[in-house]
Structure 1
Amino acid sequence: MKHYLVLSLILAGFVVHAQKNYSALVLKASEIMENTKDGAEYRKALNLYEQAFTLYPDSIASTDLYNASVVASEVKDYDKAFQYLNPLVKIKADEEHAPGWSYIEGESSESDYKNLLSDRRWKILKQSTAKEKKEFYQTLSENREEFFRKKEVQFGHKQAPKALYAQIKNNQPFLPKAMRNYSVSFKVNDSATTSYLVHLPKNYQPQKKYALLFFLHGAVRYSRLADYQIPQEAPGGWNRYYTKYADLQEVILVFPQGSKTYNWMTSDNGFFMVPEILKQIKTAINIDDNKVFISGHSNGATGSFSYLMKQPSPFAGFYGFNTHPKVFTGGTFIENIKNRSFINFSTDQDYYYPPDANDDMTRLMKEIQADYRDYRFKGFPHWFPMFSESEPAYPVIFSDMENRKRNPFPGKISWEFDDDRYGSIDWLSDIKLDTLQFQAAWQKNLNFRITKWLKYDEKDSLIVEKTDKNAFDFPRKSGKIKAEYTQNTFRIETSRVASFSINISPEMIDPGQRVKVFINGKLYFNRKIKYDRELMLENFEKNRDRERIWINRIHFKV
């Protein structure tokens, strides 16, 4: 029940002026519910809900009907409880409301309505919700089918390789979309399903390529997978400014839903989700492959930073509000940032990561000449995006997105990793570790010490606590590879690497000339590159990337 009460409080802050009096009444009622268990006080809350519903019948929200029915059940006014439950069940999901049946079928419903379970009307109500629930999921399924509907495209397996390359690159099977917001179910594994919400520009045109921004939510330890999302829950509330500026610049927004077990920070079980969701979306809508970005808040910002450190290849840039810049599932190889960029928005009253540590991080980024910026906002706590004063941060993000593009074939790459699952970066792939090898002198761990941390004491006052710990952990041995190419010549240096592959694009080399590959100063390869039709099709099926199409792959053992 507390989840919905908190949601009611948050939503109340964003109602339009015409609903001010209604909001004041239901806000007061919900505050009473949250802060007391006294029967007389519950009766006061119920009276406030009744007053609000009577005076402002056009403003009644599903959350308020739910709260009123719960408080009526608590004071054992069963007639009133069902008076509010019956219309609640019939509320359809829309841009602002969860479906009414979800309040009765939710995980906390039996505790919320414990006094009603023996009432015959509860059984009738449950039968009604079963029908509404079935219709809701049928509509979700139909919307998902419409979202993924596209033109059928057949790639010519017998056509000339260069013609196939051009066909893949110019592939545009996309169709118009009937809606702006799609809640899409996503299979995590055989026993778990979640969802992501896609928010499209107002006048989405399937023939036009669009930038895309993922937003990763925080509080992953307290989150649950969700079969569906309603638009108000993701593009609204704390994320309202993402939606405002995305709509202005015609950027597609995507909001995945993670959980304690499956997320982008504390567990590798869910780290695959964002790249896989991106692949799915690319089959349905026209995405500019060189303009895909990730942002987030708190745990979500740490997730954004983690993709930068571990799996940046599909993305152009990374952002975070109140970030803890650290990989929690392995080593934090900070020089990996030099393959991309990161913009952080920090506050001076953040218990999640101290301002002094952010300053040290900025100094380290300058030392290694990384594309990194930190914007400090003073006088704000960890939940900075909640405040209207956070709005100036968003034009910074969207201006950067407008001017930034991924280079799909960078001339130089430096990559360090300690898990073979993340042994790929741009045109290098399948890099395998050999930690028994000698570590090269140029492979060094960068770190700094954190000596102060902010925390809340028992009086909810922010205090400074002394600490002494490294900013980054290195629980496993790692390998590193440095690579560059120019004029058909590749030069590779390795440290603790057993093998790797170089992926070749005709935009990187002249296929009419020999390609030379030097590894640790020794010539390993000196031949012309031919087009591999099956590799082109396999790679496109794997990544749906029209800007990075490999025509061949050369594998090396070091």
Structure 2
Amino acid sequence: MRYYITLSLLLVCLLVNGQENYSTLTQKALETMWKAKDDAGYQKSLDMYESAFKIYPDSIDGTGLYKASVLASELNHIDKAFNYLTPLAKMKADEDGYPGWGYVIGESSKGEYKNLLDDPRWKTLVQSAIKDKELFYKDLKEIQDEFFRTKDYSFDEKENVAKLYSEIKNSSPYLAKKQQNYSVLFKVNDSTNTSYLVHLPKDYDPGNKYPVLFFLHGAVRNNVLTDYQMPAENLGGWNRFYTKYADLSHIILVFPKGGKKYNWMTPDDGFFMVPEMMKQIKKAINVDDNKVFISGHSNGATGSFSYLMKQPGSFAGFYGFNTFPKVFTGGTFIENIKNRSFINFSTDQDYYYPPNANDDLTQLMKEIKADYKEQRYNGFPHWFPQFNESEPAVQILFNDLKSRKRNPFPKELTWEYDDNNYGNIDWISDTKLDTLQPKAQWHKALNFKITKWLKYDKNDSLITENVNKNAFDFPRKSGKIKAIYSDQVFKIETSCIQSFSLNLSPEMINPDKKLKVFINGKLYFNGKIEADRKLMLRNFENNRDREQIWIYSLHFKV
């Protein structure tokens, strides 16, 4: 028995070692290809790939076949190119989950395989790839349809208010899901699509409510929108610890795909995507409305910070790894953080945002008594999530997430904005600017100077340069509103605000009693309200929020 156990262990070790050696050899081949300046360099790289294939035939993967086929095509080794491309094209999925047909009819295929285009075998591969693509999208649509399938339900507008409120709050039309991972097509506009990947807990139960964490990727200018995503590209690699702790904590992960024009940082064209995706997911999945969060890395962390500054209402908290804490589409109104929270995981060798600026930001956050924390990790560059030492940071994130809940009816709000598209925060909405007014005395900009920045020199060494820049820009005039309520009385102060709406919930007030609304010290409303069933249903349809339910809205012109 011991002999067989020892032999089995030896075979496992050899298999693992073989995979590691295959990976090492193909990585060296790839690096040789990158460095190649002529055909001799490309030939050397191809020889290295072929050597790896010969030594470890059971380890050959899609990436290896792809690189070898492109190299062979470039070198006019036509038969070799087809020998590698043909099995690649037939793959239902490569090691990253992507279908083989994409290598033949993808955007870059004709350029990469230009020397194969006149060969009859290319036409055969293309015809097969087109059929495989049709089947792939047919299957993908069926999976997406299953994701959005729910029980039939409806609300009766004629129900009494208390019953309608209860029915909305407790609605649960959700069904069990057949898969753990769903790639969902998302319509950006009439001519543009992207996607988001939903990763469910393995034991997802439609009868339970689940927290949701959006992860926003970085490098938005170098990404392109894709109408499907594969689990492997999101759940492993730099995101491996997100997956690990989400699975342990029964938390749903969502990975949106952004691109140069439509993203969460700049320009503003794609900023609507994450809240709209959340609304779609709530139609299909039993989400805890008070436990929806956003995190990200680099440009994605800046996106997370931007939602905190511009549109935090649907979310409970925000996180960022290697964050540039600034709104790039307008002003950065830092006091808006007082409505939510942010944890910033920074490093001391980050060219994206310098540690001295993070120190000053932390001090500013302390001065305004914000719910803000910075976790500094010394000795690491901008790509901190690549390192295993980032795992404790991800643990901190998930520990905070598990203990944090959104208060849908906070007693106090403060909100500043410079774009009427973002004039909403919890029970204050539809706020409109009046920038012709002078600012109130209490309406002041908060900012600080950044004097040092890290950058890489021509030798790829990190150096410090002297700069003189403001942390935040304020390209437009802003408006600001501060509001508190207690015991049926609302006290609201405005600056450069033309009008706004005050949304009311029975969890904020007693609808059977009079309430008073003071604006800038003047009494604007003194009376009772009568619940608006149409508003209740319209608000739910617009937001899919079963916690933040409004029964009446008062509109005021200041």
Aligned-partner Cα distance in 2 for 1:56–1:16: 11
Q: Shift of the alpha carbon at 1:236? A: 1.3
Aligned-partner Cα distance in 1 for 2:117–2:347: 48
The answer to whether structure 1 residue 229 and structure 2 residue 243 are counterparts is: no
Which amino acid counterpart does residue 127 of structure 1 have in structure 2?
Q
Q: Shift of the alpha carbon at 1:289? A: 0.3
Which amino acid counterpart does residue 25 of structure 1 have in structure 2?
L
In the other structure, the counterpart of 2:200 is 200
- Write the mapping of 1:96-495 to structure 2, written as runs, cut at 5 A: 96-495=96-495
In the other structure, the counterpart of 2:506 is 506
Aligned-partner Cα distance in 2 for 1:63–1:173: 43
Asked whether the 8 Å contact 1:194–1:227 carries over to 2, the reply is yes
Which amino acid counterpart does residue 520 of structure 2 have in structure 1?
N
Asked whether the 8 Å contact 1:188–1:273 carries over to 2, the reply is yes
Deviations 1:272-318 (A, max 9, x none): 00000000000000100000000001111000000000000000000
Q: Which stretch shifts more, 77-86 or 497-506?
A: 77-86
Q: In structure 2, the residue corresponding to 1:162 is in which secondary structure?
A: helix
Asked whether the 8 Å contact 2:18–2:56 carries over to 1, the reply is no
Change (3 A) 1:481 1:471: same
In the other structure, the counterpart of 1:7 is none
Asked whether the 8 Å contact 2:290–2:408 carries over to 1, the reply is yes
Asked whether the 8 Å contact 1:95–1:231 carries over to 2, the reply is no
The answer to whether structure 1 residue 50 and structure 2 residue 60 are counterparts is: no
Q: Shift of the alpha carbon at 1:103? A: 1.4
Q: Shift of the alpha carbon at 1:111? A: 1.6
- TM-score computed with the length of structure 1 as normaliser: 0.96
Change (3 A) 1:132 1:495: same
Change (3 A) 1:276 1:94: farther
Residue segments in structure 1 that go unaligned for 5+ positions in a row: 1-14
Q: In structure 2, the residue corresponding to 1:324 is in which secondary structure?
A: coil
Aligned-partner Cα distance in 2 for 1:484–1:280: 32
Asked whether the 8 Å contact 1:95–1:230 carries over to 2, the reply is no
In the other structure, the counterpart of 1:71 is 71
Asked whether the 8 Å contact 1:94–1:230 carries over to 2, the reply is no
Q: Shift of the alpha carbon at 1:343? A: 0.3
Aligned-partner Cα distance in 1 for 2:157–2:59: 59
Asked whether the 8 Å contact 1:317–1:340 carries over to 2, the reply is yes
Q: Shift of the alpha carbon at 1:97? A: 2.2
Q: Which stretch shifts more, 458-467 or 49-58?
A: 49-58
CA RMSD, aligned part only?
1.3
Which amino acid counterpart does residue 164 of structure 1 have in structure 2?
L
Number of residue pairs the alignment of both structures matches: 544
Residue segments in structure 2 that go unaligned for 5+ positions in a row: 1-14
Aligned-partner Cα distance in 2 for 1:494–1:93: 57
Change (3 A) 1:393 1:17: farther
Asked whether the 8 Å contact 2:94–2:100 carries over to 1, the reply is no
Which amino acid counterpart does residue 318 of structure 1 have in structure 2?
F
Asked whether the 8 Å contact 2:414–2:481 carries over to 1, the reply is yes
Asked whether the 8 Å contact 1:62–1:97 carries over to 2, the reply is no
Asked whether the 8 Å contact 2:62–2:94 carries over to 1, the reply is no
Deviations 1:163-212 (A, max 9, x none): 11110100001111111111111000011100000111111111111000
Deviations 1:343-388 (A, max 9, x none): 0011111111110000000000001010111111111111111111
Asked whether the 8 Å contact 1:62–1:98 carries over to 2, the reply is no
In the other structure, the counterpart of 1:30 is 30
The 4+ residue runs of structure 1 with deviation greater than 6 A are: none
Aligned-partner Cα distance in 2 for 1:286–1:30: 45
In the other structure, the counterpart of 1:529 is 529
Which amino acid counterpart does residue 327 of structure 1 have in structure 2?
V
Aligned-partner Cα distance in 1 for 2:53–2:161: 68
